[in-house]
Amino acid sequence: MRLTVAVPSLDRVCSIALDDDATMNDLLRLASDALGHDVTSYVARVDGRNMMGEGDVGASASAGSRALRARGFASNDLVALIPPQRSFGNGNDSVRATASDGSANDANGMMKAFRSDRRTMERLRASDAEFARAIENDDVETFQRKMREMKRRESENERRREEEEALMSADPFDVEAQRKIEEAIRRGNVEENMARAMDETPEVFGQVVMLYVDAEINGVALKAFVDSGAQMSIMSVTCARRCGLERLIDDRFHGTAKGVGTQKILGRIHQAPMKVGGQFLSTAITVLEKEQDIDFIFGLDMLRRHQCSIDLRRNVLVIGSAQIELPFLGEFEIPKAFGAEGASTQRSTPSEASEPTRSPTPTLTVDEQKVGILIGLGFTRAQAIEALQITGGNVELAGAMLFG
């Protein structure tokens, strides 16, 4: 006997093969394994009929040993598994856990029950941090809002499942029905993959703290964002003004910074005193017109010039030219305005996922005459352009760098 099992509350579908003498216990156990979710206490329905029997609540009841065929199951049936109505209390004092809109009748009691289940709380922290915080902080208002949202999602999933079941019942060979079944199976695979990841590698759902180090530029303390994806070290004109460096901006080195969107480059500070780990480093800074969330970006030009390496095992930035190691800052040390997640994609629900942002990569207007000089020295056009961009358009420094 082969049955198609659907769980509307999870938006999941699977196909299960059973022996002719299989029982309800067997069905629910195999469905739990296939779905990666415990459904042994769920109620089975076929074409709207409750297939459990009087007093039969999943595998925990003795009636669960009755053969499926004796209950009226037939091969190729579509079986819907519905979670039982949860309740708190014992005996006749038990009450329905939720109201018709999904909100909890006893919010404090339900939150207490959640907190006592360590595994459930771990899943919530990974999948819905706001819901988990509401439970941990006894935030009744947020908890009830999240419960109502869950109820609306379940209702929408149930409506969609009913539509799919109606299509399958009307004509199993209908192209639209097959497309919906295929999409449901695909969603089920995605959900199963996500559930497995939550169990085995929950850390991948956490927020990644970006890499910052303490630095001083011209005596002003800054939090420097270490970004090997930024071609040049950059700061905003506001930060340059705060550091007393605005008067040193060379506007001949203007251009456009390209990343996600563009920004105008006002110019370049050819040499600025930067103090890290008690030692001074000479740095060139590209200055952008617009204010940024980040004071200063320690870019690839500085990383290369000072032979730096990012050691994530020891959580330090190694500056080879000065033989010093700078510890990366912890999340609590990074100003909230900067965003501890920096340029990373922040955790979001699947329906709210957004494109990741990146630090702008400054590029200077190419001077073809300077490019021609370097090509004449035996270098390729790509090498010439890269060297000019790294040196801010200085052809002598570019040539020295290429030869050196």
Q: Which residues are catalytic?
A: 227
Angle between helices 381-390 and 368-376 (to 10 degrees): 120
CA 229 to chain centre: 20
- Distances in Å between the alpha carbon of 126 and those of 11, 117, 197, 201, 373? 19, 15, 10, 10, 56
Question: What does the DSSP assignment read for 34-103?
Answer: HHTS--TTPEEEETTEE-S-TT--GGGSGGGGSBHHHHT--TT-EEEEEPPPPEESSGGG-EESB-TTS-
The tokens describing 142, both together, are 């947020």
Q: Which residues contact 172 (CB under 8 A, 6 or more apart)?
A: none
Q: Which residue type is seen at 403?
A: F
Say if CB 373 and CB 390 are below 8 A apart: no
Which residue in this structure is represented by tokens 């929950």? Answer: 202
